[in-house]
Amino acid sequence: MNKRSVTLTLAALLVLLTALNRATAQETKVTWFGHAAFSITTPKGKILLIDPWLRNPANPEVKAGKDPLAAISKVDYILLTHGHRDHVGDAVEIARKTGAALIANPELGGNLVKLVDFPAKQAGNYIMQAGGEIQIADGEVTVAMTEAVHSSSVFNPKAGPNEPERAYGGSPAGFVIMIKNGPTIYHSGDTAYFKDMEVIGETYSIDVALINISQMGAKMAARAAQSLRAKTVVPMHFATFEGLLPTADGFAAEVKKLRIGFHEMKPGETISFRGSQLVLR
């Protein structure tokens, strides 16, 4: 190879690397930590955590005897669907460590500050209710809170004669998260199936729905997938502890009958989206 062709080859390589880099930069990454805990990394690098019970027994880090919080250094937003312990999880510790802002309903936010010392200055700016939509991450992300049929309370460590064991957690919720140059993601929280999921499906163009299959059961969870008109469904909130569905097999069979895209993530797995498109490697 002469000097000129070496230069040309190098130039071509550089163009290819730049293109690859640009493609990666435009990616949205979604990681499942097991149970209902997911992180979303936007194309611009903002990190959202939903229902961050990272120390759940299904998390491979926990199984390996490591503390999953040790690797967490940057989180911009923590979204909580409701106050139950398997969803609030490690939110307080993560908020303290990262300065992340809370996105939740006012009663849940208020009681987390009052009862479990969630940092108050990180809990006031993004308070919302079902039906509300907010823009975060300098407009890169829009979050809509949707209703959920469930209950919501905050475990009260200060319980005693004058303090209830469970404090009010406001209305439980789900989220639709719309990412600029990325996918629209629905997180069901702990809801049972409700027919107005059809309205969510009509209102938003959901690329991936993270569906709690234990709360709905396989058949109704598949009906939820259909109502939501999701392009791809990912089952969650199963096999973490006893009493939940042990596998997603029943759900997989039901959604396949309905010809809905299905992807079962493994705890610890990350999936990527190029634009709104799921990239299966």
Six-digit token pair at 268? Answer: 């610890």
Smallest gap from Cβ 261 to Zn ion, in A, equals 24
Smallest gap from Cβ 36 to Zn ion, in A, equals 6
CB closer to Zn ion, 203 vs 241: 241
Least Cα distance to 79 among 105, 58, 97 occurs for 105
| Residue 128 · residue 105 · CB < 8 Å | yes
Smallest gap from Cβ 278 to Zn ion, in A, equals 25
Smallest gap from Cβ 17 to Zn ion, in A, equals 44
- Residues that bind Zn ion in the complex, under the rule CB under 5 A: 84, 86, 190
CB closer to Zn ion, 108 vs 177: 108
CB closer to Zn ion, 86 vs 198: 86
CB closer to Zn ion, 28 vs 152: 152
| Tally of CB atoms within 10 A around 34 | 28
Supply φ then ψ for residue 209, to 5 degrees.
-115, 125
Smallest gap from Cβ 86 to Zn ion, in A, equals 4
Smallest gap from Cβ 213 to Zn ion, in A, equals 12
CB closer to Zn ion, 103 vs 178: 103
CB closer to Zn ion, 46 vs 87: 87
